[in-house]
Amino acid sequence: MLSDSARQQLEEQGFLILPGFLSADEVAGFNERVEQLFAEEGDQAGSEFKNEPGARRIANAVDKGGIFEKVIETPEVLEGIEAVLGPDFKLSSLNVRSASPHNKTAQPLHVDSGALPDKDGYSVCNSVWMLDDFTEHNGALRVVPGSHRWGRAPEPGAKPEGEILVTGKAGTVVIMNSHLWHGGSENFTDHQRRAMHVYYTRGDKPQQQYQKRLVRPEVQARLSPLGRKLLALDDPRNDELSARGSGASGFMK
C-alpha cells in the first residue's frame, strides 16, 4: 500500500506523514476512551511505564479497550513498520502522551529506548497518532530529518541544525524510524495535546512493556492470531528477552 516515493521518504528522511488517516468520529472515539482512562487511573496513570512532569500518560493500552486491540493491527502502518524493521517485529508498547497546557519545557531530543542501529539494521519504529491538531504552539513532534542514519544518540541539550516541527490535523499518523532524533516541543496553549504511540521493535529485542505479563489473560484469549503474533505471546524468544531485562529506557514523545 505504500508507494515507492513514500518508502523512499521513510528511508531517507526517517519519517512519513499520513494525513487524514482517522476520521473525525474515530478521533473522537479514541479521545473519549483516553479521557475515561485518565479519570479512572488518576495519579497512577502511566505508572506501568513512567510519569513525566508536564504531561499526562497512559501506558499498557492494549489491556484497556478493544479500540486499542484493533489499532495495533492497522495494515498500512504495519507495512511502514516492516519497511523499517523487516518482517520480524512485534509491538513494544502502546502508550498515550498528552502534553499539558502551558508546559514551556521541551522534551529532550532522543532515540526511543536508547536504541542504536546494529549489525542487523534498525530495531525500533514508532507510529504517532495525532488525537489533537499538532501546531507550532501546542507541543508538536520535533525531528531532525536523516539523523536515523548517523548511528549515534543526541548529547544532552543537543540543538542540531535542520530540526523541524511535524504539524498536522487530528487523525494524522506519522510513521517514524525511532532511531531518528526527536522529541516533544513546548505547549504554550490553554489546551492538552494528545497523541497515541503505537511502538514496535524487532523480534530479537525486548519489548518496552512486556505484553505477556501486562495484558490480562481474558484479553489475550480474544486477540486475533495477528494480535497474538504482534504481542509475541507465543514467541519463546520474548520470554527470554524479558527475563534478561526490559527495553524501557529512553523517552517517548
* Dist. CA 224–CA 156, nearest whole Å: 42
Cβ atoms of residues 168 and 130 within 8 Å: yes
Q: Report the chain (253 residues): mean pLDDT per 10 consecutive residues.
A: 96 98 98 98 94 94 97 98 98 97 95 96 98 98 98 94 97 98 97 98 96 96 97 94 62 45
Provide the β-strand partners of residue 187. 103, 138
Read off the C-alpha cell for 35. Answer: 479521557
What is the three-class DSSP state of 250? coil
Which residue, 123, 135, 128, is CA-closest to 15? 128
- The CATH label, of 1.10.8.60, 3.30.1330.10, 3.40.50.150, 2.60.120.620, for the domain at 4-244 is 2.60.120.620
Q: Edge-to-edge strands of the sheet including 141-143?
A: 164-166, 141-143, 182-184
What is the three-class DSSP state of 163? coil
Q: DSSP label at 138?
A: B
* Dist. CA 247–CA 196, nearest whole Å: 19
Alpha helices in the chain (DSSP H): 4-13, 24-41, 66-71, 75-85, 211-214, 217-222, 225-230, 236-244
Q: What is the pLDDT of residues 45-89, one digit of tens each?
A: 999 998 899 999 999 999 999 999 999 999 999 999 999 999 999
pTM: 0.94
Read off the C-alpha cell for 230. Answer: 504482534
Model pLDDT, residue 250: 40
| Extended beta strands in the chain, E state | 15-18, 55-58, 89-99, 124-130, 141-143, 164-166, 173-177, 182-184, 193-202
What is the three-class DSSP state of 114? helix
Cβ atoms of residues 54 and 185 within 8 Å: no
For the chain, which residues make up each domain, given as ranges?
4-244
Model pLDDT, residue 245: 64
Q: What is the pLDDT of residues 221-241, one digit of tens each?
A: 999 999 999 999 999 999 999
